[in-house]
Amino acid sequence: MRKAPDLLYSEEEEALRAAVRDLLADHCDAPGVIARTESDAPHDLAAWKALADGMGLAGLLVPEAQGGQGATHREVAVVLEELGRAVAPVPYLAGAVVATEALLECGDEELLGRLASGRAIGVLAVGLHRAPGTAFPAVRLESAALHGELTGIADAAVADVLLVPAEDGGLYAVEADDATVTPQVSLDLTRPLATVTLDGARGRRLGDAQPAVRRALRAGAGLLASEQLGVAEWTLTQTVRYLKERKQFNRPVGGFQALKHRLAQLWLEVASLRAAARNAADALATGEDTDLAVAVAQAYASPVAVHAAEEALQLHAGIGMTWEHPVHLYLKRAKADSIAYGTAGAHRGAVAELVDLRAP
Amino acid sequence: MTDAAELRRRTQELLAAHPPAGTDRLDFLKARFDAGLAWVHYPEGLGGLGAPRSLQAVVDAELEAAGAPDNDPRRIGIGLGMAAPTILKYGTEEQKQRYLRPLWVGEEVWCQLFSEPGAGSDLAALSTRAVREGDDWVVNGQKVWTSSAHLARWAILIARTDPDVPKHAGITYFICDMTDPGVEVRPLRQITGEAEFNEVFLTDVRIPDSRRLGEVGDGWRVAQTTLNNERVAIGGMRLPREGGMIGPVSKAWRERPELRTHDLHQRLLKLWVESEVSRLTAERLRQQLVAGQPGPEGAGMKLAFARLNQEISGLEVELLGEEGLLYDDWTMRRPELVDFTGREAGYRYLRSKGNSIEGGTSEVLLNIVAERVLGLPAEPRTDKDVAWKDLAR
């Protein structure tokens, strides 16, 4: 058995959490996020700039020599917990994690530097639902120009550069100005998808797509568990608070055992998700037992986050059903997250392979 | 401050003075206790050195490497896990000196006389009476679900000393001599066919006042120390991957492909993932304790443990198909050790039904989490200001 993973938060990680939470309190309050989802610009680029540029968080995974902060997935996971708590509409997971991991695999210094500094937002042009290690579509390469359409690309609307797999097995960098990005009406209002259409776009070959995409999606899946933890934690905390205040039958409804037991069960699930998410972040950071840690975390996280958001809606009852109350943002994020980077079922399939519990 | 290096030095001194190969097991354990290396977080003179609890692992590792005998902690779990912390916290100096050493070395086995036929989840409603007569208390009543009662020298006992006050206020905590002629132990056969537990009938049992733990009427508070330690003991075991109930069923799945179905595969994978996450959650709890930040996860661990054990063992019986229709042995026995994963699938299935009942039902634990962790309002209490003798029963 490998050395036990460090499942706690260091003092530095807690300080980072506090700083991110403060920043999001200023930028991403719930009414503002709801209003923004209905505007032409659902992404909060001011918050992104403050996180990426102001705090230097875009480059956490990038070594200092390449213009980053040289931190690890453990710190990134803490940032994602906070972004999940706020359902912050910023391209952090897509840019600072998934696209960055693909570039780290390809070793492209120039683009890494641009992304790490926050000067550019990068997006990997692979559908959000694709699980690590599964097939993904590629565009045609004809006389050094790229042609084709890719759908379900999260945060592509704010990308400056797209990382596009092509049929020759390469991963190409395409400047967003050379592509047509069309927003899709998305279930998750705070992480909108888009279609990327390339019609003879110029691309620069970065390296092989297969290992880069695999690595990128694995990191995305593993760290998504921390975002899901943030979503679940916020919904549980808000629901507990609401049920202490809300009175019916002359008592706080949080005193009824039928509801207390549901919340206690949910608390246990969230506490367990914290261990699974920390384990995945630690495994990504140390490189030990990573595939299994990621698959376990994703197989566990999705049902918990969805359960938490669904319970929050039901227990908020009428007010939870309104557009005005933010719980729907969390439900939509949780449900979309349960498909992002592979469903729980897909990750259970990965577990089956990894621990030799084969299908019939 | 006693640090790891100091503990290593002391352990080596103990090993040099009492080489395990040439020393009687009990003599070695007594020497270890006297050297303060039994439970290093206990005070000096009581088997410890007042060192951080986390450093016990240092001593255990050195002793294991030297092939030293241990005190067979599973055999004396109730003494170690429940009686000892309570005696340490509430016992007089005399009581600590008298009981802790034989308890730790395993010379004297302990059992717990708490639950009664009429007081399960509502333990504080217990009706076993203790009446003061001179320097003694005379105890009458019936206790149940007492493991090790037939082996025990001593019991921790809670009894009603004042029926005229509300139930929590009229309880006192005692140490009961299990060899007293008024103590009758009868095996209680359970659904597995065996009898891990006993019923204990107490008839005019005389307990000297010097064997009282804590103040008269303060027994409920004293019992909290015992019960909190029980939940830690049941839920907080450290396991390797596939170390619990998921182990046998995973093994059967790998070795017997002819039993596999798609439905069972999906269910098994879900339970495998949940077992692994539960193991990680317990590991995280342990790391929090070591770091001096005890988390509330402890209350939840037993809930997860009970549900998983039940679902996994149920799946295993189903997986076995024709064999699942059989049972290894219904013979009435009194096992000395309880092993939830011992014996065969049918036994595991039946035994694990007790996991959501013993040591606090899952329903009560959910209340505890909701009220103490989440801060939700307590149940309305109709029994709070009512004298025990006037309660509905």
> CA torsion A185→A190→A195→A200, rounded to 10°?
150
Same domain, A108 and A164: no
Helix (H, G, I), strand (E, B) or coil at A298: helix
Helix (H, G, I), strand (E, B) or coil at A322: coil
ipTM of predicted complex: 0.96
Nearest-by-CA chain A residue for B380: A255
Please list the active-site residues of B: 230
Same domain, A236 and A340: yes
What CATH architecture applies to the domain B110-217? Beta Barrel (2.40)
CA B77 to chain centre: 6
Q: Which of B241, B297, B376 shows the shortest C-beta gap to A260?
A: B376
Residue A127 in any domain: the answer is: no
Nearest-by-CA chain A residue for B243: A1
A297 pLDDT above the threshold of 70:
yes
Residue A308 in any domain: the answer is: yes
Residue A168 in any domain: the answer is: yes
Residue A360 in any domain: the answer is: no
| Chain B residues in contact with A247 (beta carbon < 8 A) | none
Are B269 and A278 a contacting pair at CB < 8 A? no
Helix (H, G, I), strand (E, B) or coil at B153: coil
Q: Each residue of A49-60: pLDDT tens digit?
A: 999 999 999 999
* Six-digit token string for B315: 């799946």
Residue A261: give the domain boundaries. Answer: 211-354
DSSP structural state of residue A169: S
Nearest-by-CA chain B residue for A4: B283
What is the overall mean pLDDT for chain A? 97
β B110-113/B154-160 pair status: parallel
Per-residue pLDDT of chain B (393 residues; tens, 9 = 90+): 688 899 999 999 999 999 999 999 999 999 999 999 999 999 999 999 999 887 888 899 999 999 999 999 888 989 998 999 999 999 999 999 999 999 999 999 999 999 999 999 999 999 999 999 999 999 999 999 999 999 999 999 999 999 999 999 999 999 999 999 999 999 999 999 999 999 999 999 999 999 999 999 999 999 988 887 665 544 445 688 999 999 999 999 999 999 999 999 999 999 999 999 999 999 998 888 777 776 666 778 889 999 999 999 999 999 999 999 999 999 999 987 777 777 899 999 999 999 999 888 999 999 999 999 999 999 888 998 999 999 998
Same domain, A279 and A322: yes
Instruction: Answer whether B352's CB lies under 8 Å from B340's CB.
Output: yes
Are B370 and A1 a contacting pair at CB < 8 A? no
CATH number (domain holding residue A204): 2.40.110.10
Residue A359 in any domain: the answer is: no
Question: Which position has the token pair 């620069």?
Answer: A204
Same domain, A222 and A278: yes
Same domain, A221 and A174: no
Question: Which position has the token pair 């704010």?
Answer: A158
Which of B256, B276, B290 would best serve as a mutation to test chain A binding (most A beta carbons within 10 A)?
Answer: B276
Are B269 and A8 a contacting pair at CB < 8 A? no
CATH number (domain holding residue A110): 1.10.540.10
pLDDT at res. B294: 66
A1 pLDDT above the threshold of 50:
no
Give the domain-ending residue among A148, A183, A208: A208
Task: Give residue limits of the domains in chain B.
Answer: 1-70, 110-217, 236-360
The DSSP secondary structure of B232-273, one letter per residue, reads HHHH-----TT-STHHHHHHHHHH-GGG--HHHHHHHHHHHH
Give the domain-ending residue among A119, A150, A166: A119
Helix (H, G, I), strand (E, B) or coil at B328: coil
For residue B260, how many other CB atoms are within 10 A of its CB?
18
Same domain, A256 and A339: yes
Angle at B242 between CA B236 and CA B245, to 5 degrees: 70
Number of domains within chain A: 3
Same domain, A145 and A252: no
What CATH architecture applies to the domain B236-360? Up-down Bundle (1.20)
Q: CA separation (Å) from A183 to A136, A157, A192?
A: 20, 7, 7
Nearest one of B44, B41, B43, B66 to B55, comparing CA atoms: B41
